[in-house]
Structure 1
Amino acid sequence: MLREDYATWTCAGHEISLTRPRIMGILNVTPDSFSDGGSYANVDEAFEAGMKMLDDGADLIDVGGESTRPGAEAVEPSEELRRVLPVVKKLVAAGACVSVDTRHASVAAAVLDAGASIINDVTGFTDPAMVDVVADTDCGLIVMYWNKMGLGTHATRQTVQLDVDRPNRPIARRVPSMRRFTMPEEAPIMRQVMGFLGDQARKLMRAGISHDRICIDPGPGFDKFADEDIVIQRATSKMVSMGYPYLCAPSRKRFVGAVCGVKDAKARDAATIGVCLAAIEGGARLLRVHNVAVVSQAVNTFWAVRHPDSRQAFISLGSNVGDAEQEMDTMAKATHMIDELPMTCVVNVSKAYETEPAYGIATPVANAVAEIRTELHPLVLVDKLLDIETKLGRTRVEGATKPGPRTIDLDLCWYEGEEHAGRKLTLPLKGLGERDYVLVPMEDLMHDPVRFLKHSGVDVVAPEKRVGRMKGELGVLGWEDLR
């Protein structure tokens, strides 16, 4: 079926497809952030937390070194850089798409030099120096709305709205008057928010920054009343209609607590999910959250049920037990089990080939490639492939320096519209362009796999430089006979 949205957010070397919701994990390396300050005592702990977010379903990691909670003290750029730079470097080296939450031009310049792909500026790039920094790069930008004077929409409200985290302290002053409606009027709020975001986006484009690099964020919780934040969230579709990637960042915010009645910020994850799902229905495709695991589970399930979204993918099958007939039989069974996965079907399977050993394997391997269509999230699909390996007798030895004989090996090599970094999954598969035992079987499935993969950003090496090269054909897998 035709997808609703073919938009792409271009962020340095990453092109983030927005045909489905993307999750940005919040990684604060601060001692005083409102819900997770001081959680990561050193660089290694922060790095491990970021890697876990990627394995839990994050597509991007947003690293922050300065708290923007109400009442937080400003941080010198040198201290902010000391906190974020080592973490950014490690995450980039692991292949992650990294965003840095900063309002300082010097910090932005340093993290971009270190490989960060996105600058998330809570001041909306109002500093000309910040504009100069990002204009000289190809990074992605998040333009956030934050008017420290407030939105000024409560002149007709009678009561003072209290901060749910600090119930005895008003968020802002209001002029007493008669209250006649439950919510403030939308038009003046959205004129201010959308006007600022649109003006800043055009300012950035006049500086030479392309439209597809710019993402907008209305900045929930930043000097806004809860009522105003709800009005803004209800207007998600209007902001999406501005034509820029739209970031929904409600995670554990005060307005979420005000609506759900939960005072503890860390206990607001379920309510955060509710706001995220509402935003997705309004057209938002980027979600910035603290608890990646629970939001990813909810969003992926919601998307699978609510939005049909079938994707093409390729899975490499391998077996090296030393008996060609047994290897063929196991690969056929694995293919049949893949075909039986929910929301998944096998479209076609290559012939099986005997290939030279590679990557530390000592014996020749039987290999094939299956083309599938699936609506499962890539990380969910990988878990199911691991389950199939286990059911077919694959055993893994922790700490083994060299892979031994494997009953079956199933690698998700390529998935339409997806790139990912993490310990559980890398997309496209690391080293895909040098694996002869994948490229040659793919020729059974399409006219020109090399051109296909190069178009997807995979660097394909010349045949003589590949590993796991072909030794001969083994025949056709009879997986359909097992139906």
Structure 2
Amino acid sequence: MLRQDYSIWRCGRHEISLARPRVMGILNVTPDSFSDGGEHDDPKVAVDYALQMLDQGADIIDVGGESTRPGHTPVSPEEEAKRVVPVIRGILQAAPSAIVSIDTRHPAVAHMCARMGVSIINDVSGFTDPEMVRVAAESNCGCVVMHWNRGEGQATRKFVQLDSARPARAPQRSIPTSTRRFTLPEEAPIMRDVMGFLGDQARILMRAGVSHDRICIDPGPGFDKTADQDVVIQRATRKLVSMGYPVLTAVSRKRFVGAVSGITVAADRDPATMGICLSAIESGARILRVHDVATACQAIDSYWSVAKADPRQGFVSIGSNVGDRLENLTQAVRLINQIPLTCVVQVSHAYETEPAYGIKTSVANAVVEIRSELHPMVLLDDLMNVEHQLGRERDPEQTGHGPRTIDCDLVYVEDEEHAGRKLTLPHPHLGERDYVLVPMEDLMHDPVRFLMHAGVPVYAPEERVGHVVSELGVLDWQ
């Protein structure tokens, strides 16, 4: 089926599909951020929190070492680097395929982090520093251009003067006037300023050599803007989207969120934040920068699954080496076909394969092609439930490679990249597994070409593990 949005945000070695909303988890390693300052000062704690956000469904981790709250104290590039470098290094060591963003206005810090492997430069000053433009042009990072009002004047509420009606033959006398007042400032001058700045800065980046598809725009809610102005800008999200760049919504726990919800404590504004994020998504925003990743993913994934028809192609590798192996595979396919918003498209033959990854006995394997409208993290939980229903018992001592009635590995989902301890997509070992690649030949003409096009390196047959030994037959699952 045709999708409404085929846009891609190119960030380093990653191509982030914006066919569905993406969640950027906030990781402040600062002592004075407005809602979570001091919570992640220890690099080890910060890295563990980043991995937790990835397991909750975050697509991007945004690491910041300088608070930009009202009245913040600026820090030097040296101090900021001291805070962020150990954390970024730790995240990329633990999850090498993670998409990490550096939230900085310092060119030296951005340059250092780009060399370390971050994929995105998120500049609150909107790349107004020529040195930051140069850093962006010399890297292949995605760039977030943010608008900061910088105290350039506060828009007042709109009002107009209305003349009172006067009869045609009424005697000449002074005519009373009345004033019609509005609850918000006029949109036009606010959006001219915001969109003009963002467009100008994007063009500066492109003239320097940054491609259009690497640029994302952020209207900068809360940055020297009143609550009224922020509401005006949020209501004009469609106009921002019409500029042709991905739009980032970074309203999480901001003052104006408190103003519209009546919640005074910043850390208690997450439900209100989700309401505004859903409004932004409906208007075309596709990146949501949030503090509470678990709540955001639950709200966004549920909304998207119900509101949008968005089936994705996926492949599940299934294997069994206990009991009636073919019956276990067959029952697994039937249960996968019963997962909500998911259907089995076709199933490969079953194959006898050599033991791999420490398994002691040969395994019966097959690959299932599916279509699903569930978020991959939700789909993974359903696959784990299939294992549970078929009596799979996981031995912590054997790290998942022991005997199993059934093993369900989600190895690929269309347009999805993910990193974390719970799920990595595409599966990090997909290209080396003969017991996945050979069954996939039953499902498509050239799986090697398909996977290579998707960015998955594929090993030569002689270099693979779990080689196919023989065919076991068709799985009668229907």
Q: Do the structures match in fold with TM over 0.5?
A: yes
The match for 2:422 is 424
User: Following TM superposition, by how much is the alpha carbon of 1:400 offset from its aligned partner in structure 2, in angstroms?
Assistant: 3.0
1:151-170 → structure 2 map (5 Å cutoff): 151-154=153-156
- Distance (whole Å) between structure 2 residues aligned to residue 256 and residue 22 of structure 1: 20
Equivalenced residue count is: 457
Distance 1:134 1:408, change over 3 A: same
The match for 1:458 is 456
Distance 1:179 1:290, change over 3 A: farther
- Distance (whole Å) between structure 2 residues aligned to residue 87 and residue 356 of structure 1: 40
CA offsets 1:88-110 (integer angstroms, 9 cap, x no match): 11222312100010000000011
- Name whichever of 85-94 and 463-472 sits farther off: 85-94
1:250-329 → structure 2 map (5 Å cutoff): 250-321=251-322, 323=323, 326-329=324-327
Misfit runs of 4+, over 4 Å: none
User: Following TM superposition, by how much is the alpha carbon of 1:334 offset from its aligned partner in structure 2, in angstroms?
Assistant: 0.5
- Distance (whole Å) between structure 1 residues aligned to residue 157 and residue 355 of structure 2: 74
- Distance (whole Å) between structure 1 residues aligned to residue 321 and residue 135 of structure 2: 52
1:336-375 → structure 2 map (5 Å cutoff): 336-375=334-373
Distance 1:433 1:346, change over 3 A: same
Say whether residues 1:102 and 2:104 are aligned partners: yes
Higher gyration radius (CA):
2
- Distance (whole Å) between structure 2 residues aligned to residue 30 and residue 436 of structure 1: 47
Q: Which runs of 5+ in 1 are unaligned?
A: 158-177
Paired amino acid for 2:184: M
Distance 1:245 1:445, change over 3 A: same
Q: Is the 8 A contact 1:361 1:402 kept in 2?
A: no
Give the TM-score, by structure 2 length: 0.94
Q: Is the 8 A contact 1:361 1:404 kept in 2?
A: yes
CA offsets 1:136-187 (integer angstroms, 9 cap, x no match): 0110000000021245312879xxxxxxxxxxxxxxxxxxxx8821110000
Say whether residues 1:390 and 2:392 are aligned partners: no
Say whether residues 1:228 and 2:225 are aligned partners: no
User: Following TM superposition, by how much is the alpha carbon of 1:4 offset from its aligned partner in structure 2, in angstroms?
Assistant: 0.1
The match for 1:121 is 123
Paired amino acid for 2:68: T
SS where residue 181 of structure 1 aligns?
strand
SS where residue 304 of structure 1 aligns?
helix
User: Following TM superposition, by how much is the alpha carbon of 1:403 offset from its aligned partner in structure 2, in angstroms?
Assistant: 2.5
Say whether residues 1:45 and 2:45 are aligned partners: yes
Paired amino acid for 2:212: H
Give the TM-score, by structure 1 length: 0.93
Alignment RMSD: 1.2
- Distance (whole Å) between structure 1 residues aligned to residue 214 and residue 148 of structure 2: 20
User: Following TM superposition, by how much is the alpha carbon of 1:402 offset from its aligned partner in structure 2, in angstroms?
Assistant: 7.3
SS where residue 154 of structure 2 aligns?
coil
Identity of aligned residues (%): 64
Q: 1:143 aligns with which of 142, 145, 156?
A: 145
Q: Is the 8 A contact 2:25 2:292 kept in 1?
A: yes
- Distance (whole Å) between structure 2 residues aligned to residue 54 and residue 151 of structure 1: 40
Q: Which runs of 5+ in 2 are unaligned?
A: 160-178
CA offsets 1:335-360 (integer angstroms, 9 cap, x no match): 00000110000000000000011111
Paired amino acid for 2:105: R
Q: Is the 8 A contact 1:141 1:215 kept in 2?
A: yes
User: Following TM superposition, by how much is the alpha carbon of 1:44 offset from its aligned partner in structure 2, in angstroms?
Assistant: 1.1
The match for 2:169 is none
The match for 1:167 is none
Q: Is the 8 A contact 1:328 1:477 kept in 2?
A: yes
